[in-house]
Amino acid sequence: MSTDLVQLDRADKLFHTRHFFSVDPKTGKRHFYQKRPIHAVREMEFGVRAGEIFGLLGPNGAGKTTTVKMICGLVRPSGGHVYVDGLHVEKKRLQVLRRVGVVLEGTRTCIWPLTPRENLAYFGNLKDVRGKVLRQRTDYLLDFIGLSEKRDVQVRQLSQGQKQKLAICIALIADPPVIVLDEPTTGLDVQSSRAIKDKVVEMTREQGKCAVVTTHDMNVAQELCDRIGIVKDGELITCEPTEKLLDIFSEQVYELRLDRHPDTRLLEAVPGVVSTELEDADDGPTCLVKLDPDPELRSQAIYGTVQTLQQQQLLLRSIQQRQQNLESVFLQLTNGHSRPGATE
């Protein structure tokens, strides 16, 4: 795994919060002083290769930001190790910082009284980018991200999306091999978030960088990431290539829209049908039929189902396969119902 640009080896983070005169939510008792542990990240393990966009997907409070902050050295892991480009983040923190560009939550990284160009000059200087290289890189980045027109406008006069774009430019000014984006599209309109997604893809593909993106938005993860790790309560529940993740869960569910309720017992007797379910709507019920994944058996089952419905003289309005998207996968996983057998 030495080719991984970012590698987490059982990274763990336990926070403590301190409370005075507060009621313990578990026991209901009042304490004068209490130290409560919060296990924000539990033994997280994954690696990200060059040219890859890795997504950390999870609900609010899942531990995404904490994970990201461990990669860029803002949070010290309480257990395990984090490596960037083969360097141990704790032991070689300053060297690691040369190799990562980070955009944290909230688009607040830039200095407001300065213009985008001056911001880039300032942060470029901080990161040893100087002179001609700095100017070229500034022009290139502002052009790349589409901020050229605003290069000489003070940051305070920029919109939220433009600030976020500038924050990305700042993260990229030293041309780091690793870029970390924490919730890059939150609070942005469709166009800005589209533009940012496109740029991230372009950058990773063309320049062989590796990107770690966190998001709570399925669509962003699905469109952007090559591989997705789903985090819940600090735990990495699954970590698979996006396609595969969708595949695992793309059950063979067909929706049959009918005029009346069918006899589901007869349907379930058809070989290849795993289960059925009825959903009522204004214009008649929809029967969800889950079929066996085996193609042969499935084909049989589809014929059988249609025949059975015909025998019952039902009006078959339409038949279609239910689309599986990341959202439902996510909900299934985070509700803890099923864990895909494919992991580990």
Partner 1 sequence: MGFFLVLKAEIVRGLIIMRRYWFASLTGIFIGYGMLLMLIQALVYGSGQIEDMAEQAVDGGLGFIIGIFAFGIVGLFTQGLQGMARTGELEQVCMSPHGLVTNFMARSLVAAVSSIFSLSIIIALIAWSVEGTLYFAPLPTIVLLALTYLNLIGFGFMVGGLVLIFKQTGQIAMIIRLAMIGLAFPAQESLEGWPISLRVIVHALPVTNASICLKKVLIDGAGWAVLENYAFYFLILSCLVWTTLGIACFRYMENWSRDKGTLGAY
Shortest Å distance, C-beta 140 to partner 1: 20
At 265, is the secondary structure helix, strand, or coil?
A: helix
Which two three-digit tokens encode residue 301?
Answer: 């089952």
Q: Of these, 41, 44, 65, 238, which contacts Mg ion (CB under 5 A)? A: 65
Q: Between residues 47 and 63, which has the closer beta carbon with respect to ligand ADP?
A: 63
Q: From partner 1, Mg ion, ligand ADP, none, which one binds at residue 60 (CB under 5 to 8 Å depending on kind)?
A: ligand ADP
Residue for token pair 């290539």: 241
For residues 211 and 53, is the Cβ–Cβ distance under 8 A?
yes
**DSSP per position, 110-150:** S-TTS-HHHHHHHHHHHTT--HHHHHHHHHHHHHHHT-GGG
C-alpha span between 314 and 295 (Å, rounded):
26
Among 7, 11, 48, 69, binds partner 1 (CB under 8 A): 69
Residue 40 interacts with ligand ADP (CB under 6 A): yes or no: yes
Burial bucket for residue 298 (CB in 10 Å: 0-12, 13-18, 19+): middle
Take residue 308 and report the two structure tokens written for it: 């059975």
Least CB distance to Mg ion at residue 63 (A): 8
Of 77 and 124, the one with the shorter C-beta distance to Mg ion is 77
Q: Which residues contact 251 (CB under 8 A, 6 or more apart)?
A: 290, 293, 322, 324
What is the total count of residues that contact ligand ADP (CB under 6 A)?
Answer: 12
**Separation in Å, CA 131 to CA 39, 125, 128, 136, 137:** 45, 9, 10, 9, 10
204 binding partner (options ligand ADP, partner 1, Mg ion, none; Cβ < 5 to 8 Å by kind): none
| Alpha carbon of residue 282 to chain centroid | 36
Question: Residue 66 CB, nearest distance to partner 1 (Å)?
Answer: 7
Binding to partner 1, residues 120-159 (CB under 8 A):
121-123, 125-128, 130
313 φ, ψ (degrees, to nearest 5): 55, 45
Out of 65, 215, 305, 308, the residue judged to bind ligand ADP by CB under 6 A: 65
Q: Which of 38, 126, 315, 342 binds ligand ADP (CB under 6 A)?
A: 38
> Is 246 strand, coil or helix?
helix
| Partners of 231 in the β-ladder | 236
Complex with ligand ADP: residue 278 or 331, whichever CB lies closer: 331
Single out the residue of 64, 165, 199, 209 in contact with ligand ADP (rule: CB under 6 A). 64
Q: Which residues bind partner 1 (CB under 8 A)?
A: 13, 15-16, 40, 66, 69, 72-76, 78, 94-95, 97-98, 100, 102, 104, 106-114, 118, 121-123, 125-128, 130, 170
Q: Which residues bind ligand ADP (CB under 6 A)?
A: 15, 17, 38, 40, 58, 60-66
Q: Which residues bind Mg ion (CB under 5 A)?
A: 64-65
